[in-house]
Structure 1
Amino acid sequence: MAAAPQVGGLADAVFDHAADDPDRVALGRKDAEGNWQNVSSAQFRDEVLALAKGLLAHGVRFGDRVALMCPTRYEWTLFDFALWTVGAQSIPVYPTSSAEQVFWMLHDAEVTACMVEHEDHAMTIGSVIDQLPRLKRLWQLDAGAIDELVQAGSHIDDQVVHRHRRAVTPDSVATVIYTSGTTGRPKGCVITHANFMFETDTLIDRWEPVFHSKPGDEASTLLFLPLAHVFGRMVEVAAIRGRVKIGHQPVLQASALLPDLAAFRPSFILAVPYIFEKVFNAARRKAEAAGKTGPFDKAVQVAVKYAEAMEHRAFGIGPGPSAGLRLQHQLFEKLVYGKVRDAMGGRVRHAMSGGSGMNRQLGLFFEGAGVTVFEGYGLTESTAAATANPPERTRYGTVGQPIPGTTVHIAEDGEVWLHGANIFSGYLGDPKSTDAVLHDGWLATGDLGALDDDGYLTITGRKKEILVTSGGKSVSPVGLEERVRNHPLVAQCIAVGNDRPYIAALVTVDKEAVDHWLAMQGKPPLSPAELVRDPDLEMEVRRAVVAANTLVSKTESIRTFRILAHPFSEELGLLTPSLKLKRKAIEAAYAVEVDALYR
């Protein structure tokens, strides 16, 4: 278990690593032509130091809060560590945030300065700036903000910066991360340097061997998660502290991400289940287009069986794969599994998944295909992961065991409670909300779960998302929704039924997958309005619903559904920036469609 930090702050690692090994490649950064260039630990230290001087020259002081509003990119990490060097606090803002959301966060956090990526972000800030009297500075990256700051601070002596850095202690606040707000107004989670140090050092200490593609090679990861989300932020800090080469990729879509995975060639990745689903579905569509659906599906079946046999052996309940299964597995290694790994850059052998639940069969497939995915669980309030599957005994379909130094308790009503040095100190300026979730150091998560005999946690739903039908039946919708989403044509599913006689669902489809499916069926492209009325598509979705209903009793099953013409999106206010469904907003937006399900 990583020891609790006694002195210092997060920025110290940048300077310590540069002193120890100045030539080590610390980061990868794209140049103007889109090619990856190495950044040494000494170079990164010099850039952090120069930017920290500029921040001081522009009036940023110890304890000030500075907002960062841009996609995942090198400059965000540079700003983070420069701010931490001078003892300031960074306030992450999703670049897709509305003016109302931006106003609330910047006002609530009493932000004094803000970094944005481009003019559109600047205009969003500008639309509410007259209501933000504390906001004095606005820097725009694509308008030369870095050069402007560096030049402004060029006259400041290095020791001035180091005096600020040495004043930072583990209990100093590092950041205030606002919850994504699936219900109600976002609350600012106060995360200290100690929270991040314990969290990242624990993960590095326990999981460091899996950062490498093979023993002794360079550990590297491509960060494509939003840095405004605690998961992405934890990856950033862990990479710098753990001396893992890190690159940044701002676009989560597979079409943009896969080429950068191929070029950067990370040794491991940290992602949400959506990414693994996209990789799998793309591989299957490619096989189908080549007329090799049968062999691909057989390869999936073999991978799952092989992984299950390995899992049983790890837990002492089986001998491992049979000779025949090993032979089949070896055959598909060249035909299928190696190509799946190539889609992730070719070097990835391990990955971590969080943010939402991963389907057990998908996890087993990747394990059988040579990529072990360690699923974990955590919240903003727990500085990301509180549990994770251990390297030597992964139990697919669970979110693993408590990370070292963290304790999990299941309350009488099934709620998951967490305790450890990674638990946040409270919500900014909101003691009432803080008292509602913190009880003598224990965090009441709002999630429902169960621990098995080996201490592995399974998340079964959210307390606030339990549906209660008019007949009084309580139903957790998450398992149903995830099972429907397993169908390759389905993008999203939301179950409804509060105060209604039965459970129903709204379903959206994956346009890329549907276009491929139509082509394979020999059917012409269909408009969204035509798609929702297509009987063949309805039959495919019905199959997904029937499969989901096998998990539950008749009174908990989805009785009817409606296919929607367009997906739920963040732009329409129906998803959080971390892609979680905003249930109340969706039900309100589709009130007519929901009512029609009960006629």
Structure 2
Amino acid sequence: MTPKNLVEMLYQTTQRFPEKRAIMWKEKGKYQSCTYRELWNTVLCFAEGLRQMGIGRGSKVAVFSENGPRWLISDFAILSLGAVTVPIYPTLAANQVSFILENADVELAIVQTPQMVKRLKGWPKQVRHIILLENKPVKHPIVVPFEQVVQDTVPNRKPAEWETLDPGDLATIVHTSGTTGNPKGVMLSHGNILSNIIGSLYYLPVTHHDLSLSFLPVSHIFERTCGHFTPMYAGGTIAYAENLTTVPQNILEVKPTLITSVPRLYEKIYGQIMQQIKSGSLLKLRMFNWALQAAKNRKAYTDKGYGTRVPFWTEIRYLIAQHLVFSKIISKLGGQLRLMVSGGAALDPKVSHFFSTIGLPILEGYGMTECSPVISTNPVTRYKPGTVGLPLPGTKVQLAEDGELMVKSLSVMMGYYKQPEETEKTLENGWLRTGDIADMDEDGFIRIIDRKKNILVLSTGKNVAPQPVENMLCSSPYISRAVLIGHRRKYVSALIVPDYDAILQTAHQRGWKAGDKDSLARAIETRQLIQEEIERLLVDFSPFEKPKKFAVLQDEFSIEKGELTPTLKVRLKEVEKNYASVIAELYEETAEEEVAAAATVPVKYHSSQMSAEIQNSLPSTSIDSSRKTKKKPPLWLNPQLWLGIILGILTGLFVRYFIF
């Protein structure tokens, strides 16, 4: 029977799998767990404590915490009373936290640490109580420890509050990230979220056998719907990562079958794999290329649809490739992973193609908070890299005249809390205006081009969608973040945050004189490497879309400086403000450029006319004077040549007699 609210959903799962492991968390160096029965009982005991503190139907309760079992317990306890959960990102600054508390009329706040309590010098007056999740002392007049709130017994009330909740009842107020201005409180009902879970499961099957690792902020509706509510609906197990830095270690510890993440994690994994292959031996490189080709050959058949026959030797070669090569990659991801889900931003199609080829598909989806959040996703049995998939069942989409994607679904929000004017702007005759420019192919798969507000209109009249360019640049192993600049300017420029770990490794391999991030940021070799990547990756883009100039930034963009939202989206206005002087330099014409622009014939320089400064700035790849005088030994005496020949013969024999 389909549940009519989120708490009934958990109750039904508890009835089906009472002794099954529901959640796991790290404590004292080891992963602990509790069953669905234990989880349900704890939820009821905590809800009883909240009731005694005056929380009831319609009350607004904030959860200001990092991911963990008590976040989930708090959420279901609040909902079970008919109250409304107001999630707050743990990284938000004090003024942003205060705004959400006041905007959502929060009566009680559940806070993780004493430091978070102290972050606000003055809590809003309507917040009557603060429940502290960590068992640490803090001096504050309205703070109560979590253990003190949880009751030992729960009165048997018939019917319980959660049994009277309908799909249309308000469940949560989730504040949007707010790339411009203050965030808006999105009101989502129990029915909104439930319909989104059921629709998502149609394309992305999650079962009670699955174990997922939770590390994206559950304060965001993407992780909350897909990483929390969906496993609870299916009877799966949620394991919590300790923090973002321990995700690789935690993956090996819990061995998840499912991972939900933003594209950057998959892009970094892909970059590390490619880096290891390139830096490995010639034999490893050849084996990898052979295995990849074997997988591509098989995929050419499997892409034709379910039931397509794969030739015997094609399947045998693929199985050998899996055993010798791909199993090593999958083992570094726990060894049990069967499915990866990507959302929150565009995923590089090259990364998606690679993982699907080796048998580990990344299913890219698309959504927004106002739609609970999933709008479309690639089905597990039919996916197209480079698209965000098909609309969920029951979700209608259409394109406005200007290409904006419009959505109508049971998942669409009730509206913005206390902002009817903003609601009217976003909801038009039942259709949600997404603010994203999109197109659809002949099969109905959606491709997001960019945010409508993000389109750069150059002074030349050309329009540039920055997201495809930025995503392509970020596919480089040497580029961590790229932001395009150029609105109302005559050409496009880029702010580049390098991946200094990857560049440092390359620097050591090539013998550059660079010892730390500071010196790398200033090194001419770094600029040359980034320039080569820009030229390589953007070869298929129009000239006006390519950055004419770029600046290498020393520091990553941060939430603390207001440059990123809690979901790690770039706040362009803040970036432009913080790097105003750097951007100004990108649009200052040098004397040479002014002369070249004024001349009828391109300016040419003879090498003898170059200044000493320009000569010294050339890449330090030339041979020094001491090496110039050395006479190279004959080629046939080079031991590396003979080693390469021997390895080539052995590899050929192996492939000839054991594979083919």
Tell whether the structures are fold-level matches, with TM greater than 0.5: yes
Q: Distance in 2 between matches of 1:296 and 1:52?
A: 58
In structure 1, the gaps of 5 or more residues are: none
Other-structure match for 1:128: 122
RMSD: 2.3
> Which runs of structure 2 are paired with 1:12-51 in the superposition (5 Å)?
12-30=8-26, 32-51=27-46
Q: Distance in 1 between matches of 2:509 and 2:567?
A: 32
Other-structure match for 2:433: 444
1:233 aligns with 2:228: no
The answer on whether the counterparts of 2:478 and 2:498 sit within 8 Å (CA) in structure 1 is yes
> What's the secondary structure of 2:522's corresponding residue?
coil
Q: Distance in 2 between matches of 1:300 and 1:187?
A: 50
> What's the secondary structure of 2:61's corresponding residue?
strand
1:270 aligns with 2:260: yes
Query: Any idea what the Cα deviations from partners look like across 1:455-480, whole Å, max 9, x if unmatched?
Result: 00000001100001111111101111
In structure 2, the gaps of 5 or more residues are: 137-144, 589-660
Q: CA shift at 1:194, angstroms?
A: 0.3
Out of 169, 174, 177, the position equivalent to 1:172 is 169
Q: Which amino acid aligns with 2:168?
A: D
The answer on whether the counterparts of 1:311 and 1:395 sit within 8 Å (CA) in structure 2 is no
Q: Distance in 2 between matches of 1:205 and 1:224?
A: 24
Q: Distance in 1 between matches of 2:25 and 2:280?
A: 36
Q: Which amino acid aligns with 2:230?
A: A
1:147 aligns with 2:165: no
> What's the secondary structure of 1:494's corresponding residue?
strand
Other-structure match for 2:601: none
Q: Summarize the Cα distance change of 1:306–1:55 in structure 2 as closer, same or farther, 3 Å threshold.
A: farther
The answer on whether the counterparts of 1:66 and 1:114 sit within 8 Å (CA) in structure 2 is yes
> What's the secondary structure of 1:515's corresponding residue?
helix
Q: Summarize the Cα distance change of 1:101–1:310 in structure 2 as closer, same or farther, 3 Å threshold.
A: farther
Q: Distance in 2 between matches of 1:69 and 1:307?
A: 48
1:427 aligns with 2:416: yes
Q: Distance in 2 between matches of 1:183 and 1:297?
A: 46
Identity percentage of aligned residues: 28
Q: Which amino acid aligns with 1:489?
A: Y
1:220 aligns with 2:211: yes
Q: Distance in 2 between matches of 1:233 and 1:473?
A: 40
Aligned residues: 578
> What's the secondary structure of 1:11's corresponding residue?
helix
> What's the secondary structure of 2:488's corresponding residue?
coil
Other-structure match for 2:274: 284
> Which runs of structure 2 are paired with 1:325-344 in the superposition (5 Å)?
329-344=318-333
1:414 aligns with 2:403: yes
Q: Distance in 2 between matches of 1:94 and 1:306?
A: 45
Q: Distance in 2 between matches of 1:572 and 1:549?
A: 30
> What's the secondary structure of 2:530's corresponding residue?
helix
Q: CA shift at 1:306, angstroms?
A: 4.4
> What's the secondary structure of 1:544's corresponding residue?
helix
1:191 aligns with 2:217: no
Q: CA shift at 1:322, angstroms?
A: 7.6
1:471 aligns with 2:460: yes
Q: Summarize the Cα distance change of 1:72–1:300 in structure 2 as closer, same or farther, 3 Å threshold.
A: farther
Q: Distance in 2 between matches of 1:323 and 1:8?
A: 49
Q: Distance in 2 between matches of 1:585 and 1:324?
A: 57
The answer on whether the counterparts of 1:414 and 1:448 sit within 8 Å (CA) in structure 2 is yes
Deviates more, 1:271-280 or 1:286-295: 286-295
> What's the secondary structure of 2:22's corresponding residue?
strand
Out of 47, 63, 69, the position equivalent to 1:74 is 69
Q: CA shift at 1:405, angstroms?
A: 0.6
1:163 aligns with 2:155: no
Q: CA shift at 1:15, angstroms?
A: 2.3
Q: Distance in 1 between matches of 2:310 and 2:584?
A: 51
Query: Any idea what the Cα deviations from partners look like across 1:11-70, whole Å, max 9, x if unmatched?
Result: 11222332333212222233x323223311111111111111111112211111111111
> Which runs of structure 2 are paired with 1:568-579 in the superposition (5 Å)?
568-579=557-568
TM, length-normalised to structure 2 = 0.83
Q: CA shift at 1:514, angstroms?
A: 2.2
> Which runs of structure 2 are paired with 1:338-353 in the superposition (5 Å)?
338-353=327-342
The answer on whether the counterparts of 1:9 and 1:84 sit within 8 Å (CA) in structure 2 is no
Q: Distance in 2 between matches of 1:503 and 1:307?
A: 42
Q: Distance in 2 between matches of 1:378 and 1:98?
A: 26
Q: Which amino acid aligns with 1:10?
A: L
> What's the secondary structure of 1:569's corresponding residue?
coil
Which structure has more relative contact order (CA 8 Å, sep 6+)? It is: 1
> What's the secondary structure of 1:558's corresponding residue?
coil
Q: Distance in 2 between matches of 1:138 and 1:65?
A: 13
